[in-house]
Structure 1
Amino acid sequence: MESRGGVGRVLVLAFCIAGIWSAYITQGVLQETVSTKRFGPDGKRFEHLAFLNLAQNVVCFIWSLIMLKLWSRGSSSGGAPWWSYWSASITNTIGPAMGIEALKYISYPAQVLAKSSKMIPVMLMGALVYGIKYSFAEYLCTFLVAGGVSAFALSKTSSKTISKLAHPNAPLGYGLCFLNLAFDGFTNATQDSISARYPKTSAWDIMLGMNLWGTIYNVLYMFGWPHGSGFEAVRFCREHPEAAWDILMYCLCGAVGQNFIFLTISRFGSLANTTITTTRKFVSIVVSSLLSGNPLSSVQWGSVFMVFSGLSYQILLKWRRLKSSEKKKKGV
């Protein structure tokens, strides 16, 4: 019976890995397509990338509402009230918008690498503000990630990749990515606080509340005045149905991906989810380079491996700590 349970658990994990990888790798390709492609016979770019955030919010809100109706069966009572998500949703609206906007100025692989360096500001704040002492291995991980991102940023980007960007500007692009990370940090901390205050809050409740407020904020931002960019984005999609289809598929990939992330966390924990999503980012860079025609130089490939070596080592350290704590609990 135990072996059957073990096999079933492995199959569920494989299902989660396949779901997260396929959803987010496809979404990455679509995100890059929407930000760099020239649509229609007039060869126009879709300049209103913030509209992707609004579309994602709407689709994920509807998706989470359906999931709650189908599976919660009223069990979500006692969860966090809808108004409690207003502050986290502000940063969750601004942060991802900056990340998407960065694609006007830097390539998709550069954006992924910059957003993979989340551990750097966390460790800096921990050491400087809270006086936390880190091990040599943790500093080594940070050095690999910081060095890899810096080397990639300073290396020469191919002219083919630059020609695809709407407004090439590396400092601005990386700056937007790092601001995205800062806002994400506040969002994650606030979500953790909400979950602690309201233990009965489900993943679907969080998804619903965050995307409800995100939709409100993005509608106000994009349609709050007569000449808001939302109207231009809708007009562009009407004139170029191919762009509208790419945006819809982008949003659906995000909603499906969130499903698999919630399933992974609930069954295997956040560390397993971190491992899967980190490896997915590396595969996304490889797929982008091969399919989207963004060739990376040997120095850039070295930077990519440097970053993901640091991230992989960090994950390995966390797995060791987890196994050690489990042994102590069992009294081994």
Structure 2
Amino acid sequence: MSFLRLALCVIGVYSMFLLWAIAQERLAVPFQSIKEDTTHKFHSPLALSACQSTLSSISALLYLYFRRKPGQTWAQTLGLEHSSVKQDGIELKEKKSNGTAVHNGSAHTNGSATHHHHPDTRYSPRQLLLHYFQCSVLITSATPFGFAALSYITYPAMVLGKSCKLVPVMIMNVLLYRRRFARYKYVVVAMVTLGITMFFGFGKEKPAKAKSNGNGELGTFGQLAGVVLLLINLAIDGATNSTQDEIFSRFKVSGQQMMFWINVFNTLISATISILPLPYIPVLHPSRYRTELEGALHFIRDHPSVVSPMLQFAFTGALGQLFIFETLQHFGSLTLVTITLTRKLFTMLLSVAIYNHKLTPGQWLGAVVVFAGISVEAWVKRRDVHAKRVIQEKEKANIKSL
């Protein structure tokens, strides 16, 4: 069942975000104006984020509604109240850990039930919503830096930087929440990052030789600015994923419940910032209009061809997030990032097979390193699953003997 769930998550992430990436690439290029013979770029990332988060929250709410259990309240459906089960007349509440890491060297367990129960504020709805809000602030903050980085560096350089996302995710987990990972996780992270870096680094198209806006090679200052923006984006992404892991380890919530609340807060934050009259800020408010929403509406009116990729971007992103949070809940952020990174690699390998592209020896070596890293994690997970099954069979045999 675990393998089937992982396979469905991989297929969903790959298919939805392949279409999402196509829409994102289209939104990064200029659109033809219907008023005059000119082209302009779309400069309203937060308005676009608000559109996607709105659809994402709706899709998560529909998923939770149709999957809720009979008699379940809305507070329980949305993860703000835990379902209680009675055992020998004593009311117990379930808590769980997602199993991806150990918090301060020990995992949270139910322990033994006592009659004198004191409420634990760590698991209160208020603390849970504050964690959701923290994730939303981080996600909203990362979006403008990612869009701004594409104005200074080429797409291959962006992919090369994103391939190292496993590193900030692990670093932020260690720094923010004092988590420790199994040794093989560090090996897998190093191998996957090294392999994808080799795959894109040994390609024929180098970032330093790429052209930007038709002006020839990118200047040193421009590339440096792009790298700094990309590093900020990666650091915020790492903090976001580590915070999501912390939520799963401390609170009894599902991936879709997290998806709903984070996107609700994303919508509120993005929409609020979009209607605020802000001055021109290069990264945070690149629009020349008084508000970002006003700039987005004017752009849509003058460039109606932007509507189709915007809808595709929001719709595929909303469906893709269902698979993203399902993966995050059951397999952790490192497995999720591994899936999203290898998706880029598998897409390029499929292109090689269909269109007969030529890869350099360094790229083939990078692909081998990535597949080797994935094989290490698959072998360890299979060994752990087999060991758990053996223990379960022994426990069943002991129960029957009693």
Normalising TM by the smaller chain, what interval?
0.7 to 0.9
Equivalent in the alignment of 1:179 = 232
Which amino acid letter does the alignment assign opposite residue 304 of structure 2? P
Equivalent in the alignment of 1:251 = 314
1:63 aligns with 2:126: no
383, 387, 395: which is aligned to 1:328? 387
Q: How does 1:111-122 map to 2 (within 5 A)?
A: 111-121=158-168
Distance in 2, Cα, partners of 1:279 & 1:92:
22
Deviates more, 1:135-144 or 1:211-220: 135-144
Compared CA separation, residues 106 and 91, structure 1 to 2 (3 A): same
Deviates more, 1:124-133 or 1:24-33: 124-133
What SS does the aligned partner of 1:117 have?
coil
Distance in 1, Cα, partners of 2:273 & 2:359:
42
Distance in 1, Cα, partners of 2:172 & 2:131:
26
What SS does the aligned partner of 1:36 have?
coil
1:52 aligns with 2:52: no
Distance in 2, Cα, partners of 1:186 & 1:192:
10
Equivalent in the alignment of 1:32 = 25
CA positional deviation for 1:35? 0.8
Distance in 2, Cα, partners of 1:187 & 1:21:
21
Conserved 8 A contact 1:102-1:174:
yes
Distance in 1, Cα, partners of 2:342 & 2:181:
28
CA positional deviation for 1:94? 1.2
303, 313, 329: which is aligned to 1:240? 303
Distance in 1, Cα, partners of 2:348 & 2:223:
18
CA positional deviation for 1:260? 2.9
TM-score (norm 1): 0.75
What SS does the aligned partner of 1:104 have?
coil
Q: Identity over the aligned pairs, expressed in percent?
A: 25
Equivalent in the alignment of 2:377 = 318
Equivalent in the alignment of 1:85 = 132
Distance in 1, Cα, partners of 2:292 & 2:230:
22
Equivalent in the alignment of 2:223 = 170
Distance in 2, Cα, partners of 1:186 & 1:112:
19
Which amino acid letter does the alignment assign opposite residue 114 of structure 1? G
Equivalent in the alignment of 1:190 = 243
Equivalent in the alignment of 2:258 = 206
Distance in 2, Cα, partners of 1:323 & 1:287:
27
CA positional deviation for 1:250? 0.3
Distance in 1, Cα, partners of 2:366 & 2:146:
19
Which amino acid letter does the alignment assign opposite residue 222 of structure 1? S
Q: How many residues matched?
A: 315
Distance in 1, Cα, partners of 2:386 & 2:380:
10
Distance in 2, Cα, partners of 1:288 & 1:241:
31
Q: In proportion to residue count, which structure has more helix? A: 1
CA positional deviation for 1:244? 2.1
CA positional deviation for 1:308? 4.9
What's the Cα RMSD here? 4.2
CA positional deviation for 1:147? 5.4
Distance in 2, Cα, partners of 1:128 & 1:64:
31
Unaligned runs of 5+ in 1: 290-295
Compared CA separation, residues 37 and 320, structure 1 to 2 (3 A): same
Deviates more, 1:102-111 or 1:142-151: 142-151
Between structure 1 and structure 2, the one with the greater Rg is: 2
CA positional deviation for 1:64? 1.8
Distance in 2, Cα, partners of 1:215 & 1:320:
40
1:282 aligns with 2:345: yes
Which amino acid letter does the alignment assign opposite residue 108 of structure 1? Y
State the Cα deviation string for residues 13-38 of structure 1 (Å, max 9, x = none).
76554432221111111111111133
TM-score (norm 2): 0.64
Distance in 2, Cα, partners of 1:65 & 1:133:
35
Distance in 2, Cα, partners of 1:66 & 1:126:
31
- Higher RCO (C-alpha 8 Å, min separation 6): 1
Distance in 2, Cα, partners of 1:174 & 1:288:
28
CA positional deviation for 1:251? 0.7
